[in-house]
Structure 1
Amino acid sequence: MTRRTTAVIGAGNWGTALAKLAADQGNPVRLWAYEPEVVEGINRGHENPFYLQGVRLPDNLRATGDLAEALHGAEVVILAMPSHVFRQVLGRAAPHLSPEAPLVIATKGIEEESCLIMPEVAAEVCGWKTWQRALVLSGPSFAKELARGDPTAVSLACRNLRQAEDLQRWLSGDVLRVYATEDVVGVALGGAIKNVIAIAVGGATGMGLGHNSRAALMTRGLAEVARLAMQRGANPLTLAGLSGIGDLVLTCTGELSRNRQLGEALGRGEKLQDIVGRTRQVAEGVHNARSVRQLAQRAGVEMPISDLVYRVLFEDLPIGQAVKLLMGRTLRHERDDRVS
């Protein structure tokens, strides 16, 4: 594929891994970082000193704290900032974006209050014509494993399927296999809601519950994802794919999952503020729990697991009580996908 000047906005684990992937494929890459010490560490030592420590970054990957510099001449823009600052950072970046450059949205989340998925936020910030060049990247892809070259596969969604197919060819290689789709809503919601379900599964693990409990939570959690996504117009087959069950299984079971780790700590009786206080990166599921609950309530969709995760996080509901409430719910048919 033709080399393309690439800008990556967000230098956390995921943004750094994607920047390395693009650079390893021969593309000149500029990585925007908020922290000056991250910029210095990458440019001087070819390593992100806080995220993905120990991973050497290629010489054709340079970091900057200046959005205008990062985006100058960029033919592809990858957005990998946390969901809760997505609108703010994109708003600052928008004046420097080429109107032709595709926007690959690697951020997984739903905006609080507005309940918009990230491509909808991008369209509000950059204009609704952005829909035709905004792509959503999601699937089973821990940053550390991608950075060390472990092969995986992901979904890439765009309303303009030709745009998705073009970026599919550009991104795919020995490490990443990309599958194109038009289901932007399904890919975006699958990537966001699974973070909340992973907190629940981690909570069960932290409590000492076994494989039965975790498997049940994952399966019924997937049903919640599907109910809400389908109500928003998603294709149910998307939720059976990489950005649905694939990402859900990884995030709920993988040792590298921050959402699962946070849930485990809650299951052991730790307080949310103590858990958050000892890490540089907040698990996205904490922010997503609020927005998923808001979106479900507006849509009239029952999501009991997600709702109880919210109550454990923000209403101090004891996690043991949450389990009892789940088990005591009104009995239903398994394929009952009614709204509340």
Structure 2
Amino acid sequence: AEAVQNLPHKISMPSGAEYIADIGTIREADIAFVAVAAKYAGTKGWLCKRICDWIVYTDCKPILVMLSKGFDADSAMPLGMAWVKKLEERTGGKAKFAVLSGPTFAHDLADGKLCVASIASRGPAVIRAIKRIFRKTNLRLIGTDDVSGVSLGGCLKNAGAIGDGYMDVVAPSEELPKYRRMWLGEMKTILDFFGAAERTLHSPAVKDDFLYTVSGSSRNREFGRFIAGAKTYFKDDDGKYRSRAEIEEVARANTVEGFESVRVLYKIAQENSLRVPLLYGIYALACLGACPPRLFYTIWYQNAKTRYLNIKNKEA
């Protein structure tokens, strides 16, 4: 309730929508947006259990829209995918669920700038209902049935933003576009592994969200700059090597969701032999305290290898 009172006056809700501090009022809502930190949105947490109980034992049947980005701690699945599975198990398919993700920074929405995001659901009627309430606002929603891909988008862009911030400090400026192109390729590899639709890579939830995030000073990108030894709002002692313990301490204290995403993505990639060298580099830096400039050399090597193969192909 206190956070709602402190919102800038120019932020307004669509007609018929309101902020609530009492979770119990969800039972009377037509559409409810779940917007909490990923660590509180897990399928074994009290929030998911309470909502499932209401749907099973009462007439509580709102459309649930997941805004949280990250992985479910219990299943190691993206939150959207994990909630779909849990809701189907607990409610027998009664629940109406969607995932909303994309480059929707609060200050842009507050300033009236046009923002575009993806809304994913297996029910076309659910998508239409959600789009209807934002029809006359500056938030445009693009519908899709690819819940898996849209759920992954936030996890992938947060992990990639850490590497982008790191590269911004340690690498020449011309290397940053190369990093971003390579990370888009690795996002595709992971999306393909999860069975996401091919078109989702170029949707607001994935490519657009990543590129917009790394163009600013998001929390995850600043975390990458912190790892590289830059002065950030995490720490003001620039030029210092960051130990593994210090990195973990800052990540926990500041809810850097990309940090947990890197851990989970690394485990998935290792167990399934995915070819994602940048992810392995980001993991080494963020989770093992590897010495700089590990990630920069990964990019340099990959680009040098590509140039060599192109030359050999031309000679052949």
Query: What TM-score results when the alignment is normalised by the length of structure 2?
Result: 0.79
Using the alignment, how far apart are the partners of 1:55 and 1:203 within structure 2?
36
For the pair 1:75 / 2:22, whether they are aligned, the reply is: no
Matched residue SS, 2:113: coil
CA RMSD of aligned residues (A): 2.7
Matched residue SS, 1:154: strand
Letter in 2 for 1:105: M
Task: Name structure 2 gaps, 5 residues minimum.
Answer: 230-240, 311-316
Using the alignment, how far apart are the partners of 1:131 and 1:147 within structure 2?
35
2:53 corresponds to: 95
Gap change, CA 1:55 and 1:266, over 3 Å in 2: farther
Q: 1:199, CA displacement in angstroms?
A: 0.5
For the pair 1:183 / 2:153, whether they are aligned, the reply is: no
- Mapped contact 2:178–2:299 kept (Cα < 8 A): no
2:114 corresponds to: 151
Q: 1:55, CA displacement in angstroms?
A: 5.1
Q: 1:58, CA displacement in angstroms?
A: 5.4
Larger mean Cα displacement after TM superposition, 299-308 or 244-253: 299-308
2:247 corresponds to: 272
1:322 corresponds to: 295
Letter in 1 for 2:192: M
Using the alignment, how far apart are the partners of 1:192 and 1:215 within structure 2?
20
Q: Percent identity?
A: 21
Matched residue SS, 1:301: coil
Output aligned runs, 1:46-85, within 5 Å: 46-48=5-7, 54=8, 61-64=18-21, 66-68=22-24, 70-85=25-40
- Mapped contact 2:281–2:294 kept (Cα < 8 A): no
2:183 corresponds to: 221
1:194 corresponds to: 157
Using the alignment, how far apart are the partners of 1:181 and 1:264 within structure 2?
34
The number of residue pairs the alignment matches comes to: 282
1:235 corresponds to: 197
For the pair 1:204 / 2:167, whether they are aligned, the reply is: yes
Q: 1:240, CA displacement in angstroms?
A: 1.1
- Mapped contact 2:167–2:295 kept (Cα < 8 A): no
Q: 1:238, CA displacement in angstroms?
A: 1.3
- Mapped contact 2:118–2:141 kept (Cα < 8 A): yes
Task: Name structure 1 gaps, 5 residues minimum.
Answer: 1-38, 49-53, 335-340
Using the alignment, how far apart are the partners of 2:71 and 2:94 within structure 1?
17
Q: 1:247 aligns with which of 190, 209, 216?
A: 209
Matched residue SS, 1:127: helix
Gap change, CA 1:274 and 1:232, over 3 Å in 2: closer
Query: What TM-score results when the alignment is normalised by the length of structure 1?
Result: 0.74
1:31 corresponds to: none
Matched residue SS, 1:135: strand
1:245-297 C-alpha deviation (Å, 9 max, x unpaired): 10010111113x111111111112444246447x6x42210111111112223
Gap change, CA 1:122 and 1:252, over 3 Å in 2: same
- Mapped contact 2:149–2:197 kept (Cα < 8 A): yes
Q: 1:134 aligns with which of 63, 78, 97?
A: 97
Using the alignment, how far apart are the partners of 2:94 and 2:177 within structure 1?
36
Using the alignment, how far apart are the partners of 2:27 and 2:289 within structure 1?
47
Q: 2:256 aligns with which of 283, 291, 295?
A: 283
Letter in 1 for 2:81: E
Letter in 1 for 2:293: G
Using the alignment, how far apart are the partners of 2:100 and 2:60 within structure 1?
20
For the pair 1:104 / 2:62, whether they are aligned, the reply is: no
- Mapped contact 1:91–1:125 kept (Cα < 8 A): no
Using the alignment, how far apart are the partners of 1:131 and 1:239 within structure 2?
30
Using the alignment, how far apart are the partners of 2:219 and 2:52 within structure 1?
30
Q: 1:75, CA displacement in angstroms?
A: 1.2
Matched residue SS, 1:215: helix
1:171 corresponds to: 134
Gap change, CA 1:114 and 1:199, over 3 Å in 2: same
